[in-house]
Amino acid sequence: MAPLGPARPEAPSLTKTLETPLRVLKPGTVVADKYKIIDEVSHGGTGVVYKAEDIKLKSLVPAGKK
């Protein structure tokens, strides 16, 4: 078996990183006719975390991730 050598610069990449555009939810946006977005808590490489209010119960719910 031949030893592996460094990748050739002219070789095409076999993988490609895809990025999905994030749809930002603004405060006041209603999701699923049940939750009202209060604020964005944090965001990072895996998505956005929001603070939301359950409209029927009139109480804050654990932050949801999009």
Q: Is 62 a residue whose pLDDT tops 90?
A: no
If one compares 62 and 20, the residue with the highest pLDDT of the two is 62
- Residue 30's pLDDT is 94
If one compares 18 and 45, the residue with the highest pLDDT of the two is 45
DSSP per residue over 11-52, as a string? SPPS-----PPP-PPPTT-EETTTEEEEEEEEEETTEEEEEE
Q: What is the pLDDT of residues 1-41, one digit of tens each?
A: 666 666 566 666 667 666 656 678 899 999 999 999 999 88
Rounded-to-integer distance, Cα 51 and Cα 27, Å: 9
- Residue 15's pLDDT is 72
